[in-house]
Amino acid sequence: MHLEAIAEKCTGCRICENFCSVKHEGAIWPERARIRILAETDSGPFTPNVCRQCEDAACAAACPVEAITKDQSTGAWVVNDDECIGCENCVEACPYHAMFFDAESGKAFKCDLCGGEPECVAICPFGAVQKVP
Amino acid sequence: MITIHVRYHNILQRGAGTACETVELPDGASLAEALRHLADQHGAPLREMLLGSDGNIASYLVIFRNGQLIGQQQHQLPLANDDELMLFLAISGG
Amino acid sequence: MFPYRGYAGKCLYVDLTSGKIETREYDKALAENYLGGNGFGTRLLWENVGPEVDALAPENLLIFSTGPLCGTIVPNPGRMEVIGKSPLTGIYGDANTGGFLGPEFKFAGWDAVVITGQSPRPVYLAIADNQVELRDASHLWGLTTSQTENAIRQAWGDPRVKTATIGPAGENLVRFAGIQITPQRSAARCGLGAVMGSKRLKAIAVRGHGPIRVADPHRLHKVAIALHKRLRANPIFPAVHAHGTPGIVSLMDALGRFPTQNFRMGSFSYVDRINADTLRARAFVRDLACFGCPVACDKLYCVPDGPYAETALRSVEYETVNALGACIWNANLDALLAANRLCDELGLDTISAGRVISFAMELWDEEILNLDDTGGLALYWGDMDTVLPLLRMIAYREGFGNLLAEGVRRAAQTIGRGAERYAMHVKGMEIAAQDGRAQKSMGLAHVTSTRGADHLKAFPVIDETGYPDEGRRRYGEQYLPDIVQPLATKHKAFLVKDGEDFGAVVDSVGMCKSGGTFVLAEIYWPDIAAALEAATGMEMPVEQLQRIGERIYNLQRCYNALHGITRADDKLPRRFSEEASPSGNAKGQTIDIEPMLEEYYQLRGWDAETGWPTAKKLRELGLEGAIERLQR
C-alpha cells in the first residue's frame, strides 16, 4: 500500500497534518506531521506531499545502519528508533522531501501508513489523499 | 393541465442540470405532487435534494410560491396555472 | 505552572510606550471562568479600561486572544478574537477572524497578546516562537495590507509567517478600520484597526514551530472524529461547501432580508447579477479553507476580463456582496469584487464602509446632501466610478471621505438636516445584511448585541428559512413551529439569549460560527463541553459551560452599562417600525421590538427599566464586583 495525492482536491485545510501529528505525537504539531501540504501561495495551488513508499527506497539505501525496513503487511518503510543514529542521510537522500528529522529525539521520522489505516485518508474531507493497495 | 415555472438555486441547479424550467401538471396538482414529478423526471441527484427518504418533500428544501415562503402545512395545497416556484436548500447564515 | 492543556499557558504583555515586553502565565481563574477568546478580552477590558479612556488613547487595550480549542482537531477550530474599546461605538468592541493566525500564535507558545500604550514611531511586533521583539515599521507605514505582509515575509525569509496588519485606513484612524489576518481574512468590525493605528502598531507577525498539547489526545480524537462525521453527513453540508456564505444571497433576497438602497427595500431587482451562481461562474478559481476546517467555504476568485481583469481575492462573503452590491444598488459584480479587494488592501470593514456609502447615497437621493456638501461628488445609487475613489477618500480621510470615515452616527450628527433618520445603526454600529422586518429574531439580536448592531453575537439562523430540523436538533419539539418561522415573534427572545450565551462560548474557545455551531446547527453545548474536557483536562459539566457563556455576555453588558448604555439604547432605527417592508416574504411587515425585548430582559434576569443585569443575576454569576461598580 502507498498514498497518492490528488492535488486538485486539496483546499489547504491541513486537517491531514493535524490528525497525523495527533496520531503520532499526541499533539497538534505541523512540524511533526508526516504528510505536509505544499502551498505555492496562501491560496494555493496545494499539493499534499506524501511518502511514496518507494520500491527501491532511497532512504533505506542511504541508511548506514539498516534502520529503515519494509513492513511486509502494510508495505510501509518504517524507521526503527532503536537502530537510528540520527545521521540524517535518509533526509538528504529522499527525492520527495518526505523524510524528516526530530532534533529533540535525534531520530528520523516518516509516514508509516498508520499501521494500515492511514489517518489522513480517513479524515480528508475531499479525498485529496487516497490509499493505493 | 396547468403550467408552472420552477427556478432552481445553488446546487439544486447541478441536480436539475438547469437554472429554470417550465412544467405541465394535471389540474389541482399539489406542491408535493409537483416535486415528486420533478424528482421522477430528473432522478438522482436531484431526487435526494427534493424528497426525503419517505418520499415527502425534504425538510431541508425551502420553497417560495409566488414570492411567499411555504411551510410544511401548505405542501398538499393545489397549485394554480402560472405559479412560480423558487427552490433553495435551507442554508442559513450571515 | 498553568495546569491546563489546550492552552499554551502564557500571554504576552506589550507596552508600546516603553517598549517593554513581558511574559505572564495565563491566569488560571480567568481560564476557568471565561475560557479565552472574547471572554479573556472582556475581563481585561472590564478591569483595565474604564469609561474615562478614549478608544484611541494609549490607555485603551488591544487584545489578540485565542482559545483552548483554537488550533486543535475539532472541526472549525481556526478562529480567534481581537478585543478593545471601539472608536466607532465607544463601548465594548470585538472582531472575530478565521484563517491561520490564531493557531500560529499557539504553535509559537502564546494564548494571547495584550497591547497597551502608544509607540513613538511605527513598529511591528515580531514573534518567532519564544523570541519576541518590536521592530521598526517606518518603511511599512503607508503600505497596503498585502504589501505589508509581503515585505515582512521577505525580510524574515519565511513565506509561512502569519500576520495581522492594518492598512492606510487604520493608520488614519478611520472609525471602522479593520485588521487583515493571514490569509486575507479580516478582523473587521468595531474599528479595532483604528485602535491599532492609534498605537502606531502596523502589524503583528508570528511564526511558531511547537506543539499544541492536549490533556487526553485519545478522547479528543474520538470527540473530533464524531463531530467531523456529523458535519459531513448534514444534508446542507455540500451546499455550504459549494458556495460559502454568498450561497445565501438569492435566498435572503427572496425572504426580503437582503438590505437594498440603505434598507429602503429587502430585495434587489438585480440580485441574479451578484448571486452565488453568477459569482462562481464568473470568477471561481478554487476551494479554500481555514485552518482545520472541513467545510472549506472560502473560494479564490479572479476576474477573467474587462476593466477589472486580474482582480484576485478570497474571502468574498455574503455581507460584502450585500454591502458593496444591493445596499448601494450596485449590480456590477466585477466592480463589487474590485471594491472588496480595495477594502481589504486599505484595511476597511466592508460592512461599515458599504453602509456609510449607502447612507450618503440615500441622503443624496433625498436631496439632503448636495454637491457643495460632497465637494463635487455626485452620489447616485450604484455609481461604482464614484464608489471606488470614495473608498480611498474614506481611508485617507480626504474631502467628503473624512466625514464618512466617522461612521453613520457621527456623520449624521454633523450633517443634521434630518440625516439621522437615514443612519441605520444601533449604538453607533452600522447594521449588517439582515432586516428585522423579514426575520424578527434578527431585529432583537441587533438591539441586544453587546457590540452594537450585530447579527453574530446571537446569530439566530435557525429561523431564517423555516427549516424545522435545525430547530428540532437544537431545542427539541417544544418550541416548534414558531421558533423556526422567520416572521414569528414567539420564542425568539429565548432563541436570541441562548444564541448569545452559546455564541460567547464559541467565541471564547476559538471555533467558527459559519460551521457546525450555528450555520449547520450540529455542534452544541455538550459537544463543546466534551471537547474542552478532552483538550484541557478541566472538568466542564454542561451547566458550568452555560454559566460561563452567560457570565461573559453579562460582563460585556455591565461594561456597556458603565459607559452609559441603558434600555433606551436598545432600539432599532425608526425605519423598521414605521416603514413596512415592500419586499419578498417580508412584504407588509414592520417590527415592534418591545414585547420581545421585555421577554428577553426577563429571561436574562435584567432590570426591565434600566436594562442592566440585576444584583441577583450578578451574584449568581460570581460578578459581585460589578454590583458596586454599577451602582456608582
Q: What is the pLDDT of residues C13-35, one digit of tens each?
A: 999 999 999 999 999 999 999 99
pLDDT in tens, A42-57: 999 999 999 999 999 9
Q: What percent of chain B has pLDDT over 70?
A: 100
Banded pLDDT at B43 (limits 50, 70, 90): very high
pTM: 0.97
CA C352 to chain CA centroid, nearest Å? 11
Phi first, then psi, for residue C424 (nearest 5°) are -90, 90
Look at residue C468 in the predicted model and tell me its pLDDT: 87
pLDDT by residue (tens digit) across C161-213?
A: 999 999 999 999 999 999 999 999 999 999 999 999 999 999 999 999 999 99
Grid cell of C382 as nine digits: 450604484
Indicate whether C420 pLDDT > 90: yes
Q: How far is CA C154 from each of CA B30, C129, C159, C312, C376, rounded to the nearest angstrom? A: 64, 18, 7, 21, 42
The answer to whether the CB of C521 falls within 8 A of the CB of C460 is no
Q: Any residues with CB less than 8 A from the CB of C372 and at least 6 apart, and which?
A: none
Give the pLDDT band of residue C623 (cuts 50, 70, 90). very high
Identify the residue whose cell numbers are 460551521. Answer: C515
Asked if A touches B (at least 3 Cβ pairs < 8 angstroms), the answer reads no
- Average of per-residue pLDDT across C580-607: 97
Distance CA(C206)–CA(C161), nearest Å, equals 6
C-alpha distance from A94 to closest chain C C-alpha (Å): 22
Kindly state the average pLDDT of the residues C335-361: 98
How many Å apart are CA C58 and CA C40, to the nearest integer?
A: 20
Best mutation target among A25, A32, A43 (most C Cβ atoms within 10 Å) is: A43
Q: Report the 10 Å Cβ neighbour count for A105.
A: 11
What confidence score (pLDDT) does residue C434 get?
A: 98
pLDDT (0 to 100) of residue C370: 96
Do C470 and B13 count as a contact with CB atoms less than 8 A apart?
no
Kind plus residue range of the DSSP H or E element containing C283? helix C276-283
Q: If pLDDT is split at 50, 70 and 90, which confidence band does C631 have?
A: confident
Q: pLDDT for C289-339, tens place per residue?
A: 999 999 999 999 999 999 999 999 999 999 999 999 999 999 999 999 999
C213 and A CB contact within 8 Å: yes
Mean per-residue pLDDT for B57-69?
A: 93
pLDDT at C632: 75
**Per-position DSSP letters for B4-53, written without gaps between them:** EEEEE-THHHHHHTSSEEEEEE-TT-BHHHHHHHHHHHH-TTHHHHHB-T
Alpha helices by DSSP H, C87-216 = 101-108, 145-156, 168-171, 192-198
| β-bridge pairing C298-302 and C312-314 | antiparallel
CB contact under 8 A, C287 and A14: no
Return the C-alpha torsion angle C561, C565, C568, C572, nearest 10.
-130
- C71 interface with A at CB cutoff 8 Å: yes
**pLDDT at residue C588, as a whole number:** 97
* C73 vs A28, A32, A43: nearest CB: A28
Among the partner residues A13, A30, A43, nearest to C183 by beta-carbon distance: A43
Type of residue at C471:
G
Asked whether B and C share 3 or more beta-carbon pairs under 8 angstroms, the answer is yes
B58 lies in a domain? Answer: yes
Q: Are C519 and B91 in contact (CB under 8 A)?
A: yes
Smallest Cα distance from B48 to chain C, Å = 9
State the pLDDT at residue B49.
94
Where exactly are the structural domains of chain A? 2-132
Q: What is the reported pLDDT for C372?
A: 96
pLDDT tier for residue C470 given thresholds of 50, 70 and 90: confident
Q: Inform me whether the C-beta atom of residue B86 falls under 8 Å from chain C C-beta atoms.
A: yes
Instruction: Give percent of chain C above pLDDT 90.
Output: 98
Q: What is the mean pLDDT of residues B50-74?
A: 91
Q: How close A56 comes to chain C (CA, Å)?
A: 32
If you average pLDDT over every residue of chain C, what do you get?
97
Catalogue all structural domains in chain C, each as residue range(s) with its CATH number: 10-207 (3.60.9.10), 235-429 (1.10.569.10), 436-521+541-631 (1.10.599.10)
What gap in Å lies between CA C516 and CA C297, rounded to an integer?
Answer: 12
Residue B12 maps to which CATH number? 3.10.20.30
CB contact under 8 A, B59 and C467: yes
For residue C288, pLDDT over 90 is answered with yes
Is the reported ipTM for this assembly greater than 0.85? yes
Closest residue in chain A to residue C229, using alpha carbons only: A123
The answer to whether the beta carbons of residues C58 and C39 sit under 8 Å apart is no
Which of C567, C257, C271, C587 has the alpha carbon at shortest distance from C436? C257
Distances in Å between the Cα of C327 and the Cα atoms of B90, C138, C253, C270 are 23, 38, 12, 11
Question: Which residues on C lie below 8 Å from B68 (Cβ)?
Answer: 585
Report B:9-68 residues touching C (Cβ under 8 A): 9-11, 13, 19, 58-60, 62, 64, 67-68
Residue B94 domain-assigned?
A: no
C46-56: per-residue pLDDT in tens? 999 999 999 99
The per-residue pLDDT for B72 is: 82
CB contact under 8 A, C287 and A11: yes
End-to-end Cα separation, chain B, in angstroms: 41
CATH topology of domain A2-132: Alpha-Beta Plaits (3.30.70)
In contact, C84 and C63? CB cutoff 8 Å = yes
- Cell numbers linked to C509: 474557545
**Closest CA–CA distance from residue B86 to any residue of chain C (Å):** 9
Using a CB-CB cut-off of 8 Å, the residues of chain B touching C432 are 94
Q: pLDDT in tens for each of the 133 residues of chain A? A: 999 999 999 999 999 999 999 999 999 999 999 999 999 999 999 999 999 999 999 999 999 999 999 999 999 999 999 999 999 999 999 999 999 999 999 999 999 999 999 999 999 999 999 999 8
Q: A104 CA to chain C: closest CA distance, Å?
A: 12
Residue numbers of the domain that contains B66:
2-89
